[in-house]
Chains A and B, each alone.
Chain A
Amino acid sequence: MPTIDHCLYQIRRVLEVADGHEAAYVARSRIGRLINSCLHITAKAAGVRAPDFPCRFQAPPYSSQQLVDLTTLCNQIYDLSRTLAQPSEPLEARWTAGWQDLRASLMAMEHALLELKATS
């Protein structure tokens, strides 16, 4: 099962693809993989079953603030990626335009994961 280190690696893999020609298509599945992994970490820590697929997720009410923050970031990135790379055809131009927002969320997620790693 995914670990915090895997999640951190997957963030780097999303960042790597930003400038490539096939960026939007490849990034879409990398983001899905990242969200899925993060949700597994969150669900495991909260003692609930992890979703099988990337989705909007709500941390259980008794979860720590760190887990709530991480879940919020997952949801934010999930929503953003669906607008940037919609089901019909991911667009390089829109991907490029929305990249800064996504990058900021990814950086925040990296920070949240590092904090979680330090305290776990």
Chain B
Amino acid sequence: MNPDGEYTVWLYGSAARGDSDHISDLDVFIALDEFQQIGEVRRIARVMGEIWSVSAYLWTELEGMASYGSLFLHHLRLEGRPLYESPKGRAHCATILSSLGPYRHAKRDVLAFRSVLSDVKESIDFGCVVHYELSVIATVMRHAGILGCYISGEPKFGRLEPVHRLVSLWSLHDKLSEKFTELYMFRLAADARAVLPFEPSMQDLEGWCETLEVFIERLEVEVDAYDRSLPVPNSPRA
């Protein structure tokens, strides 16, 4: 890479937090200034193997994300560690992360979670592939957990921790944490990082749809309260 260019490479996720295990991947964040470079980075990452999970953004994309307080940028700010940066890239990244405001897409995310859940329910009538649908439920539940933890003032971005924390915070059924750990194996299996924990049935999927429905309903209540508490953009408190 050109030392005069504007780029930065960070490690984030479990390896940066120091809680990685044998099925963890290496989450790498890269900021660049040309879209063609992103394609090149993804090709290199593919050659390096599935263990590398690369998220590559343009600076303009990152600035757009900062404008709504992107949860991913909060994640980077909280846990990320720079690996390699050009001087211009370091400065640009510091500016973006230091001016990051509160997350402003919480309500929209809940709508998206609802849409995905609705898709999964619809797929049941269409002879769906249960393994895949369970991996989708696991992904949404984790994302809902990350959002829930963030708006509760306890940001957590791990694989299981966000849901486990909300189970405790929202006094949900204790068994849910254990069951979610098992469910998340389908998500990991989708990335070939784990074997399927069991052969799932349609009843398992229907049960998880109901659980996710309850989880999202509770999140919706919390998001309403969070949104009301947000300062108006561009006000002195924002």
Contacts and interface: CB of A to CB of B under 8 A. Distances in A.
Per DSSP, chain B at the interface is: helix
A10 to B, nearest CB: 8
Contact of A25 (B42, B112, B131, B192): B112
A89 B132 contact: no
A86 B56 CA distance: 8
A88 B133 CA distance: 20
Size range of the interface on B? Answer: 35 or more
B131 A53 contact: yes
Contact of B196 (A1, A20, A52, A82): A52
A89 B53 CA distance: 12
Interface string B70-104: 11100100000000000000000000000000000
29 contacts: A2-B126, A13-B119, A22-B108, A26-B116, A29-B119, A29-B139, A33-B119, A33-B129, A33-B132, A33-B133, A37-B129, A50-B129, A52-B131, A52-B189, A53-B131, A53-B190, A54-B190, A82-B42, A83-B42, A86-B56, A87-B55, A88-B27, A88-B72, A89-B55, A89-B65, A89-B71, A89-B72, A91-B57, A94-B61
Given A2-B126, A9-B126, A89-B70, 4 more contacts: A33-B133, A37-B129, A40-B129, A88-B27
Interchain residue pairs A-B with the least CB separation, the first 7 = A22-B112, A88-B55, A89-B72, A53-B190, A52-B131, A25-B112, A26-B115
